[in-house]
Amino acid sequence: MRYLIVGLLAGVASLAAGGASANPELLKMEKDAKNWVMPTGNYANHRYSALDQINTKNVSKLQANWTFSTGVLRGHEGGPLVIDGVMYIHTPFPNIVYALDLKDDGKIIWRYEPKQDPNVIPVMCCDTVNRGVAYVDGKIFLNQADTTVVALDAKSGNVVWQKKNGDPSKGETATAAPMVVKDKVLIGISGAEFGVRGHITAYNTSDGSLAWRAYSVGPDNEMLVDPEKTTEHGKPIGKDSSLKSWEGDQWKIGGGTTWGWFSYDPDLNLIYYGTGNPSTWNPSQRPGDNKYSMTIFARDADTGMAKWLYQMTPHDEWDYDGVNEMILSDISVGGTERKALVHFDRNGFGYTLDRVTGELLVAEKYDPVVNWATKIDMDKSSKTFGRPQLVEQYSTQKGGADTNVQGICPAALGTKDQQPASYSPDTKMFYVPTNHVCMDYEPFRVSYTAGQPYVGATLSMFPPKGKDNMGNFIAWDAGTGKIAWSIPERFSVWSGALSTKGGVVFYGTLEGYLKAVDAKTGKELYKFKTPSGIIGNVNTYEFDGKQYIAVLSGVGGWAGIGLAAGLTEPTAGLGAVGGYAALRDYTALGGQLTVFALPGD
């Protein structure tokens, strides 16, 4: 009932907000390479910088310039914003936000420390991470763990407004970074392991009033889909397409949470994002395609109405959430320049779509070990076009509950998880931090209790047979769907990448190294061991004429949950603990910013 009311209200609000004029500030600022104005680098999620003071010739001389401890342990995902001489950084729970003065080695201008009920911690599935804050119009937006959305005055850190986006007592939490589009801030929600029904919500940046909310699953009106106009593979999705793909009321606890990244194309006025796994992880408990979990959505930025969508992994059996970022790049596919959307899915396939229409162009494995599907059906005349061609041996549905299915690749945390890739318009390459991990998966029957875990599977993770590298950092050609080069890493590369006009690509490792490699060849040019494992996203900015590289260290996240939460049982941490046990030999918990620069003033 509550959902219905909110859905109706959302409809009303969207009408009111529909005519709002565009806010050109971020469109201008995202082009200023001196700043880093949004977590994703730009609306297209390129995480590319036009700065080239640091380049392939001199990056080997890079050195730590100043550092800052956040005072918080556990996993530090996301990265700093830099806006006109001020850096804004955030922490995992309790989600402290610091404004740091760049002209004084990060002297603290203000700190905002929300008071949150620590009971939110046990309902955060995969560490107490937060992926960053957003900025517009002199306000900083924070999506707290307890789902409180806060607008802070960027000058003072004072609260301008706050809104509750969900209810942690039902397992609703937040980890996703907000994105500001025009006069709205987009907010995602987490908790599919607690049966949370996902949605994306747009709040008006001025006062926090609700603009629209679009659920991932359920009735068409609550999903903001039009049975006739919203398309998948060019065809209208039809009436009640989600409801029909679920048995009974399972959709009400059906997952499809929205804890990943958002993208925005200002020319098309479309926002893009993916939805997470259907609940529970025991696929036998939810017959059907479970629409629209595991789905890429393209929505109108003003109204939230879906223009097109694409469900990558219907009826998921492996927890291959579809939330990874959508990188909007105009690239050549099959000899034709396309307005593309490139997405590296947890399921191990790298997808290239036409972002105007949602047409599927390329879908190839970006790690050869992927074995749960042979390929994505690319035959447009086929009834299964766009669907993965499953390998029965790795189905966790087939044997039903309590059957241990062994050797599935990738593991539940996917060939890539939240760690965002980068796109360089110079090389036309995508630089992708990946996992190289397989799993055994045993589903079990689970019943739903609000606020209690609703996982329904026991997992263990391990490197692919005969391998000891649990990660690779790869360069990907999204036009052809081929790996250009690949750097093996001991552990998953859980950090976000940065590419630059200097021809250098940066990423961090779980052991704690910041690495710089040649964008063309992948040759390692520099590395530095930061205080703790890196799961943050590297960025760059210019201050007083000098280019800096910045990254948050702080081991944790799903891959590092054993260290972060002090878990030792191999199957704990949703299966991640055992596989990553050796991480403990390399690093310990921390939360630090390291800012790098070339020597000299």
Is residue 553 a contact residue for a second copy (CB under 8 A)?
yes
Length of the chain (residues): 601
Q: How far is the CB of 98 from a second copy (least distance, A)?
A: 8
Q: Which of residues 106-125 bind a second copy (CB under 8 A)?
A: 106-108, 111
Is residue 128 a contact residue for a second copy (CB under 8 A)?
no
H/E/C letters for each residue in 367-423? CCCCCCEEEECCCCCCCCCCCEEECHHHCCCCCCCCCCEEEECCCCCCCCCCCCCEE
Quote the tokens at residue 392.
């029965």
Q: How far is the CB of 133 from a second copy (least distance, A)?
A: 17
| Closest residue by Cα to residue 388 from 347, 418, 437, 357 | 347
Name the phi and psi angles at 28, rounded to 5. -75, -45
Nearer CB in complex with a second copy: 158/169 = 158
Nearer CB in complex with a second copy: 202/514 = 514
| Closest residue by Cα to residue 426 from 342, 328, 503, 334 | 503
User: Contacting a second copy (CB under 8 A), which of 23, 55, 58, 67?
Assistant: 67
Is residue 419 a contact residue for a second copy (CB under 8 A)?
no
Nearer CB in complex with a second copy: 75/276 = 75
With contacts defined by CB under 8 A, name the span among 21-29, 163-171, 379-387, 584-592 that binds a second copy: 584-592
CA-based torsion, 1, 282, 493, 505: positive or negative: negative
Nearer CB in complex with a second copy: 112/441 = 112
Dist. CA 134–CA 90, nearest whole Å: 11
User: Contacting a second copy (CB under 8 A), which of 12, 16, 64, 378?
Assistant: 64
- Burial class of residue 3 (count of CB atoms within 10 Å of its CB; 0-12, 13-18, 19+): middle
* Number of residues located near a second copy, criterion CB under 8 A: 35
DSSP state of 444: -
With contacts defined by CB under 8 A, name the span among 22-30, 329-337, 525-533, 571-579 that binds a second copy: 525-533
154 Cβ contact list (under 8 Å, min separation 6): 83, 86, 88, 99, 135, 138, 139, 140
User: Contacting a second copy (CB under 8 A), which of 529, 567, 571, 581?
Assistant: 529
User: Contacting a second copy (CB under 8 A), which of 15, 24, 31, 71?
Assistant: 71
The neighbouring-strand residues paired with 246 are: none
Active site residue 319: yes
Nearer CB in complex with a second copy: 105/402 = 105
With contacts defined by CB under 8 A, name the span among 29-37, 370-378, 448-456, 582-590 that binds a second copy: 582-590
Quote the tokens at residue 66.
């100043």
Q: How far is the CB of 430 from a second copy (least distance, A)?
A: 29
Residue appearing with tokens 């999620």: 45
Is residue 495 a contact residue for a second copy (CB under 8 A)?
no
Q: How far is the CB of 588 from a second copy (least distance, A)?
A: 3
Q: How many alpha carbons lie under 13 Å from residue 39 in its C-beta half-sphere?
A: 32
Contact 551, 539 (CB under 8 A): yes
For residue 260, CA distances in Å to 256, 324, 399, 527 come to 11, 6, 31, 28
Q: Which of 319, 321, 367, 417 is catalytic?
A: 319
Dist. CA 286–CA 265, nearest whole Å: 35
Quote the tokens at residue 326.
């959508």
With contacts defined by CB under 8 A, name the span among 154-162, 242-250, 373-381, 588-596 that binds a second copy: 588-596
Is residue 530 a contact residue for a second copy (CB under 8 A)?
yes
Nearer CB in complex with a second copy: 267/569 = 569
Is residue 589 a contact residue for a second copy (CB under 8 A)?
yes
Is residue 580 a contact residue for a second copy (CB under 8 A)?
no
Q: How far is the CB of 585 from a second copy (least distance, A)?
A: 5
Q: Which of residues 329-348 bind a second copy (CB under 8 A)?
A: none
Is residue 601 a contact residue for a second copy (CB under 8 A)?
no
Nearer CB in complex with a second copy: 63/209 = 63
| Closest residue by Cα to residue 430 from 509, 354, 519, 491 | 519
Q: Is 452 helix (H, G, I), strand (E, B) or coil?
A: coil
Nearer CB in complex with a second copy: 466/599 = 599
The neighbouring-strand residues paired with 474 are: 432, 486
538 Cβ contact list (under 8 Å, min separation 6): 47, 79, 495, 496, 497, 498, 506, 507, 508, 514, 549, 550, 551
Catalytic residues: 319
The residues of the shown chain that bind a second copy, judged by CB under 8 A, are 61, 63-64, 66-71, 73, 98, 105-108, 111, 512, 528-532, 553, 584-594, 599
